[in-house]
Amino acid sequence: MTEKQFIRVNPQIEKFIALIELNRPKELNALNRELMLEIRDTLRELDNDDQVRVIILTGGQKVFAAGADIKQMANASAIEMLNIDQFSTWDQIKRTRKPIIAAVSGFALGGGCELAMTCDMIIASETAKFGQPEIKIGTMPGAGGTQRLTRAVGKALAMELVLTGRFLTAEEALRAGLINKVVPVELLLDETLALAREIASQSPVAVKLAKEAVNHAFNSTLDEGLLFERKNFYLTFASEDQKEGMSAFIEKRKPEFKGI
Ligand code: CAA
């Protein structure tokens, strides 16, 4: 693992799978600006690394992240917040073309919940707690909480969580459609790796185009989204992986995808 100041990075925890681990345990992985810049830069590097097909983002077994760093923000003026614009660094997460899976245990609150929701899928341990408690400290979500949570769980529940700060248990989050799976805490990394492995065994070209198309569903009308999807589908036929995948099916063998 490479140590940065606030995160640890293993670009090959397994073949084709990279791991980013938040590493501010005493502050419950509170997301200060420096940590978010480290995540941004690391994602950029991993997105350009041919040996990486899937990225896992975790806080470890105790806590995912208790939100943006309140101590760092507490005395800032509105104009300082505007000028620093720290949440714009989060756009890099959204721009990452490879799939990112959040492995969440313990608190995923405020910016922590938003960070998990910015990823493409969430595997949670039984101890996970999701919430947007900003209302309790006199503010509101600022990194996607009112938008991504509402799209994921619907208006009624999102409104309740944002306006009361109540936490969702992992089981509630699963039922509400916020997360993919709940697993015992000691199996969190194994189960996340199993999902990552399955995705990493597919054509990286098709995975990239398919991720882009699914995300398009949030930003377009149905007709625009369908058109976008169709073009990405046709584009997969420019890849060797598509030829390999379909030949392998016909020849009744396992495909060998190369990402070209
Ligand atoms: N920022 C900075 N420090 C934090 C923090 C945060 N978001 N969350 C926890 N910490 C620090 C605590 O201050 C404490 O530090 P000290 O030991 O120096 O006092 C340490 O982490 C341990 O925390 P607690 O003693 O509070 O631990 P607990 O188990 O009693 O409570 C908790 C855990 C319920 C998560 C509680 O820490 C808490 O409520 N944290 C804040 C949650 C929150 O409001 N998050 C939203 C932040 S704003 C935001 O995220 C905006 C946005 O949209 C991006």
As a whole number of angstroms, the distance between CA 97 and CA 17 comes to 14
Structure letter (DSSP) for residue 177 = T
In DSSP notation, 8-24 reads EEEEEEETEEEEEEE--
pTM of the shown model: 0.96
Ligand 1 mean position, distance from CA 30 (Å)? 7
The residue contributing the CA closest to ligand 1 atom 41 is 66
pLDDT in tens, 184-242: 999 999 999 999 999 999 999 999 999 999 999 988 999 999 999 999 999 999 999 99
Residue of 6, 22, 24, 28 best suited for mutating to test ligand 1, as the one with most atoms within 8 Å of CB: 28
As a whole number of angstroms, the distance between CA 147 and CA 162 comes to 11
The answer to whether the CB of 207 falls within 8 A of the CB of 239 is no
Catalytic residue, candidates 59, 67, 106, 111: 111
For residue 42, the Cα-to-chain-centroid distance in whole angstroms is: 14
How much is the pLDDT for 3?
82
| 114 classed as catalytic | yes
Kindly give the residue spans of alpha helices, DSSP state H, lying in 48-154.
70-73, 78-84, 91-95, 111-118, 145-153
Three-state helix/strand/coil letters over 140-164: CCCCCHHHHHHHHHCHHHHHHHHHH
The residue contributing the CA closest to ligand 1 atom 18 is 27
Ligand 1 mean position, distance from CA 211 (Å)? 33
Ligand 1 mean position, distance from CA 133 (Å)? 10
Count Cβ neighbours within 10 Å for each residue of 38-69 and write b for 16 or more, e otherwise: bbbebbeebbeeeebbbbbbbbbeebbbbbbb
How much is the pLDDT for 36?
95
How much is the pLDDT for 27?
97
Q: Which residues in the chain show pLDDT less than 70? A: none
Rounded to the nearest 10 degrees, the angle between the axes of helix 111-118 and helix 145-153 is 60
As a whole number of angstroms, the distance between CA 43 and CA 20 comes to 9
Question: What sign results for the dihedral spanned by CA atoms 147, 105, 207, 18?
Answer: positive
Q: Determine whether the shortest distance from the Cβ of 56 to ligand 1 is under 6 A.
A: no
